[in-house]
Amino acid sequence: MHWLLWMSFLMTGVFVLAVVLFASCWWVIFQRTIHRFNAEEDGRD
Amino acid sequence: MIDYLYVLSIISIWVSIGMTLVTLSGGVLFLLRHLHRTDVDNLPPLRRTPRVTVVVPAHNEELVIQDTVKAILRLNYPADRLEVLVYADNCQDRTAVAARSLLTWTEFQGRNLTVIERTGTGGKAGVLNDALAIATGEYLGVYDADAAPERNALYFLVQKVLEDPDRYAAAFGRNKTRNYQQNFLTRCINLEIINTQRIQHTGLWQLFKIGRIPGTNFIINKQVVQELGGWHNGALTEDTEISFNLMRRDKLIALAHRAEAFQQEPETLFAYYNQRKRWARGNYEVLGANLKHLFDRSPWRIKLEVLYYMCTFFWFNAAIVISNVTFLGNGFLALMQWENPALHTMLNLDGPVAFLFLVNWFLMFYLYLLQLNIALASDYGQATVKNFLYSLVAYFTYAQLFIVVALAAVWDICRDRITGKRRTQWYKTQRF
């Protein structure tokens, strides 16, 4: 069982990194969408 | 023995996390590349405007048909290049009258709108085949009776296929939930749809140029469909089938992500259950018919699609069912232990193994939340605290419904195989 345990720590590390990466992407997408949304709303006014 | 099961379950989790990460990467890449603003009021003229025949299959749709046809006639596309065919398919209500009355409106006079009252068989596929025989357009567009397209939907679809007309046999847009604020169920369906369209569709297109025809809000090259022999009459999910057929010919179904239509989703559990069971059953059947392509000389895209469907519908689904049964069984036995301390629970996880599973489960849950919220963040007005809370709750409630639906679909297929009868009931999705 132990090799699996080592493997999972490794995989877990990879996944955590991926998740952090995606979390920052989320922030960029969120900010830009809000910005674009506001710009279009202003345009309409 | 139990060790092997642990290994198998951990591998199942990793494969599903891996697949999610791949699609998520593609989806995020696509979103980041397409975040620029499009001035929808001043779109440049199209390279050319092929004649398009828009087909609207309608079965007892008097409640919604007028709104849909109005939206189609108001599309930003030259009126003389657009033919609209509304099929009132075996209707017992006033669908045809409601649609025809639009021709008396000053706004729509002289428009190329034909309303056909149909009594044939074959359901939606039958309607599409009838339309295929009489359509004058170079492309066929399909809008379900409840799917009102946004003004520029057709423009974006045509723009997309014209990018590479030989390769792109079809283009599809995205559907938004019109009635998502109705109740808890529609809110959850909305989350699911945003996730599918903003992450899965975009991801698969970005990475592999794979697209699937979604049933509504798409256009397809008429000649290619004719060469394919049309739609399979009576197929439960004619969309999946035609998508596979196109891919088998090495044609692509392109994603036109700015082509949007607004669709009504089921508002009751009963309507939801019947709609999804029909889809799941159809998908199992299409999958069964295409399984052989994993081993023949089919294009790699079709192999990937079959593999993807197989993992989702067989492997992961079975894994989730086993996991839920174990969890509930263990919970029940733990409760019974109060009464009778001699009882043992089914599975006793402790130490590093328990930790391992917990961490992996948490990762999966976190990835689910992240994926859903990336999708929400990319959509106007959907990145709200309310939707975040709904996404939390949906994991434990709505997401589990799929298991029931998939099991019911498998049961239906097995029952029909054993009894030799095919009881395909086409429950029409109720409109509100």
- Among the listed ranges B212-221, B279-288, B353-362, which one has the minimum average pLDDT value? B353-362
Using the predicted structure, report yes or no on whether residue A45 has a pLDDT greater than 50: no
Using the predicted structure, report yes or no on whether residue B56 has a pLDDT greater than 90: yes
Q: What is the mean pLDDT of residues B256-271?
A: 90
Q: Which helix (H) or strand (E) holds B52?
A: strand B52-58
B360–A12 C-beta distance less than 8 A: yes
Which residues of chain A lie closer than 8 angstroms to B363, CB-CB? 12, 15-16, 19
The confidence score (pLDDT) of residue B427 equals 54
The confidence score (pLDDT) of residue B94 equals 87
B352–A29 C-beta distance less than 8 A: no
Identify which of B141-150, B284-293, B411-420 has the greatest average pLDDT: B141-150
Shortest CA distance to B93 belongs to which of B56, B61, B52?
A: B61
Edge-to-edge order in the sheet of strand B252-263: B113-118, B82-89, B52-58, B139-142, B218-221, B168-177, B252-263, B148-149
Q: DSSP per residue over B9-44, as a string?
A: HHHHHHHHHHHHHHHHHHHHHHHHHT-S---TTSPP
Q: What is the mean pLDDT of residues B245-256?
A: 89
Pairing, β B82-89 against β B113-118: parallel
Using the predicted structure, report yes or no on whether residue B124 has a pLDDT greater than 50: yes
Note the pTM of the prediction, 2 decimals.
Answer: 0.85
Q: Which helix (H) or strand (E) holds B232?
A: none
B367–A5 C-beta distance less than 8 A: no
Is residue B232 very low, low, confident or very high in pLDDT (cuts 50, 70, 90)?
A: confident
Identify which of B47-61, B308-322, B343-357 has the greatest average pLDDT: B47-61
Measured in angstroms, the CA of A38 and the nearest CA of chain B are apart by 10
Q: What is the mean pLDDT of residues A7-34?
A: 81
Nearest CA in chain B to A32: B35
Q: What is the mean pLDDT of residues B1-18?
A: 80
Structural domains in chain B plus CATH codes: 49-265 (3.90.550.10)
Looking at per-residue pLDDT, the higher value among A3 and B383 belongs to B383
Which residues of chain A lie closer than 8 angstroms to B35, CB-CB? 29, 32-33, 36
* Interface residue ranges in chain A relative to chain B, Cβ cutoff 8 Å: 1, 4-5, 8, 11-12, 15-16, 18-19, 22-23, 25-26, 28-30, 32-34, 36-37, 39-40
The residue ranges of every structural domain in chain A are 1-45
What percentage of chain B reaches a pLDDT higher than 90? Answer: 34
Nearest CA in chain A to B364: A15
Q: Which helix (H) or strand (E) holds B236?
A: none
The confidence score (pLDDT) of residue B170 equals 94
